[in-house]
Amino acid sequence: MKFYWLVFIAAITLLFYACNKKDLQLPDPPSESDAAFTYSPSAANDNIIEFTASTAGVIAKWDFGNGALGSGTNISATFPNAGTYEVTLSIYAPGGSVSSSQEIVIKETDLSLLNSPLLVMLTGGSTGDGFKTWVLDSANSTHFGVGPDPIGSQGNFPEWWAAGPGDKNGCGLYNDRYVFHLDNFKFDMITNGDVYVSNELAADFPGSFENLGDFTAPYSDQIDELWTLTEDEDTMLSVSGSSFIGFWTGVSDYKVIQLTDTSLWLQYQHHSGGLLWYLRLIPEGFVSDNGGGSGGGATDPNITFLVDMNQVTDAFTTPEINGEFNNWCGDCNPLSDDDADNIWETTIEFSSSTYQPGDTVEYKFSADFWTIQETLDPSLNCVQTTIDGSNTYTNRYVVIPVNDTIINTVCWASCGPC
């Protein structure tokens, strides 16, 4: 009798699932027409193209054919060089994914687009060699370290452990070179035969061996890869293929904490979460004066601000800088112009008792106790917008560096030179 009851129960179970089979059906997959998109030049520049995906409510990923990637159904991309580019949109919906491509033609080269402040600092700009080589600042403290994810009380800083000068000598970390080319956004990772990898990932590298806590692994140069710099709420630096920067933790996307002509401070994740890793790089051949204290402390960096007033049409006597650091006080931090070229400057010390490397501080230029002030376009890459109740403020921002820093001269109300 028990056997018959089991057969009966099994039959009822099969009938139940058969009757509810429709509940397991997936949505129809998207068609190629769902991945259609339109594009047009922006009002600001014919080489800045605005793209719109035709289908709403999907995850949209873009490959612009110039080394840059993006996401979102409405997005713009910059094409400094003349040429034909194949742009591909891939959409991801509950029923699957599909892609479509179109060719766009950029008629003229616009070198001014290659001279945005971040691009110039990373690559040397179009007036330089066309590339810039970066290395770890191994001679100074805090060039490599780790902290909690999410970040702790010290902000974007390796508060759990930071390397002292030369702590990882012979590990395959200090002899690596990272070359960022402006032409077609090419990236070269020059390893000199080996790299340094997390002990959790050593099995992925045949021939690796334990070395000062983690593993040194044989690894060939990665040439003609691509780099992408995405400016959003966070500025992200990504490299393609099998290339990476510094200590391998399983990721190749890096948050830019600070970028100046002589310093590149990166934060990136651990492959399994829970940790944030930090690297400080300097241009090859540059000798820095201080890596930021001994394994977790911070100095009091001086930041020099310069503004070019030559295109200001309003009458003024003395420009000033206002920000969170002086409570927007008006004229308590005036600028000076000792050589009378109408480029004004001031240097401000940021105390480590208040600010840590990686902190973001808002500011703007004004003149004569707020008689005039900058009006900043929220779309500029050197500004951020803050909403405080019913008020909206758009200001410049600076990321507190480890070392003394001179910020490139900017034109009044602009991110670049005049």
DSSP secondary structure code for residue 22 in this structure = G
What is residue 213's three-state secondary structure?
Answer: coil
* Global confidence as pTM: 0.57
H-helix or E-strand containing 6?
A: helix 2-19
**Residue length of the chain:** 418
CA–CA gap between residue 398 and residue 396 (Å, rounded): 7
SS3 track for 85-143: EEEEEEEEECCEEEEEEEEEEECCCCHHHHHCHHHHHHHCCCCCCCEEEEEECCCCCCC
**The CATH number, out of the four listed (3.90.1640.20, 3.30.1120.80, 2.60.40.10, 3.40.190.10), of the domain defined by the range 302-411:** 2.60.40.10
Half-sphere exposure of 56 (CA within 13 A, CB side): 0
Name every residue whose Cβ is closer than 8 Å to that of residue 202 and which is 6 or more positions away in sequence: 208, 210, 214, 215, 217
CA–CA gap between residue 13 and residue 29 (Å, rounded): 30
Pairing of strands 186-190, 37-41: unpaired
Which residue in 400, 393, 392, 395 sits closest to 413, CA to CA? 395
Would you write out the chain's pLDDT as a tens digit for each of its 418 residues?
444 444 444 455 554 444 454 455 667 888 888 999 999 998 888 998 999 999 988 889 998 988 777 778 888 888 888 899 999 999 998 888 899 999 999 999 887 777 778 888 999 987 788 899 999 998 888 899 999 998 876 778 888 998 988 889 999 999 999 999 988 889 999 999 999 999 999 999 999 999 999 999 999 999 999 898 877 678 889 999 999 999 999 999 999 998 988 999 999 999 999 999 999 999 998 877 644 332 333 467 889 999 999 999 999 999 999 999 999 999 999 999 999 999 999 999 998 778 876 677 899 999 999 999 999 988 887 888 887 778 888 999 887 776 678 888 999 999 888 8
Amino acid (one-letter) located at 97: S
- Beta carbons of 37 and 102 less than 8 angstroms apart: yes
CA–CA gap between residue 187 and residue 189 (Å, rounded): 7
CA–CA gap between residue 158 and residue 144 (Å, rounded): 8
> Do 32-110 and 302-411 fold alike per CATH?
yes
CA–CA gap between residue 294 and residue 301 (Å, rounded): 15
If one counts every other C-beta atom within 10 angstroms of the C-beta of residue 186, the result is 19
CA–CA gap between residue 285 and residue 308 (Å, rounded): 30
**The CATH number, out of the four listed (2.60.40, 1.10.8, 2.40.128, 3.30.70), of the domain defined by the range 117-283:** 2.40.128
Q: What CATH code is assigned to 32-110?
A: 2.60.40.10
What is residue 341's three-state secondary structure?
Answer: coil
Would you list the domain boundaries of the chain? 32-110, 117-283, 302-411
